[in-house]
């Protein structure tokens, strides 16, 4: 037995998005409790030239929907990047989770060896499905999920590793 492309992607995205949703709920609750503007957290960044919280969530969900759709040979659905509130970010995670629920393991069979072409700022880049998943989509996904957590943690939100893992 080895790992299927489905096992290495969809359940991992689902678990970590559950964590991201919990982390955002705790951010929203913290702002409410302190009586501060929730927008201050939505717009918070770790550096002036890094993306703010809302964009981190958008990009994390983009990698989850992009990887799962491409590996299943489906068109990647387009989400407009208009989320400006905690409720809207939760809705985006919800839409992504719903999409992930539509994939079956067999949809991704054989995708490890298929060529996946990704549009990048620097032009197109082509990968095998396995390299795309393990060495591009997954590290990018984790980067943005972790940075969202780090932004909130840096702004005082009481979070721990169990929140990152979505353990309520």
Binding site for a copy of itself (CB under 8 A): 1-5, 7-8, 11-12, 15-16, 46-47, 50, 110, 112-113, 130, 134-135, 138-140, 142-143, 146-147, 149-150, 153-154, 156, 161, 164-165
Q: Determine if residue 57 is left, alpha or beta; phi over 0 gives left, psi from -120 to 50 gives alpha, anything else beta.
A: alpha
Report the alpha-carbon distance of residue 119 to residue 26 in Å, rounded.
Answer: 35
Distance from the Cα of residue 128 to its chain's centroid = 21
Closest among 90, 89, 102 to 10, alpha carbons compared: 102
Cβ proximity to a copy of itself, 75 vs 121, nearer residue: 121
Cβ proximity to a copy of itself, 47 vs 82, nearer residue: 47
The nearest distance, CB 44 to a copy of itself, in angstroms, is 11
The nearest distance, CB 152 to a copy of itself, in angstroms, is 10
């Amino acid at each position: 037995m080895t790992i299927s492309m489905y096992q290495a992607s969809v359940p991992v995205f689902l678990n970590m998005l559950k964590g991201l949703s919990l982390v955002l709920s705790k951010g929203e609750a913290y702002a409410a409790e302190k009586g501060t503007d929730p927008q201050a957290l939505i717009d918070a960044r770790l550096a002036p030239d890094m993306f703010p919280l809302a964009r981190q969530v958008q990009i994390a969900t983009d990698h989850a929907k992009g990887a799962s759709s491409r590996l299943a040979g489906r068109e990647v659905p387009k989400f407009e990047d208009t989320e400006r509130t905690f409720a809207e970010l939760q809705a985006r995670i919800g839409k992504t989770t719903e999409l992930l629920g539509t994939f079956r393991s067999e949809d991704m069979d054989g995708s490890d060896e298929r060529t996946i072409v990704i549009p990048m700022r620097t032009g197109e880049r082509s990968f095998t499905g396995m390299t795309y998943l393990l060495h591009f989509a997954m590290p990018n996904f984790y980067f943005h999920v972790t940075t969202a957590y780090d932004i909130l943690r840096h702004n005082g939100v009481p979070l721990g590793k169990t929140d990152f893992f979505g353990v309520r």
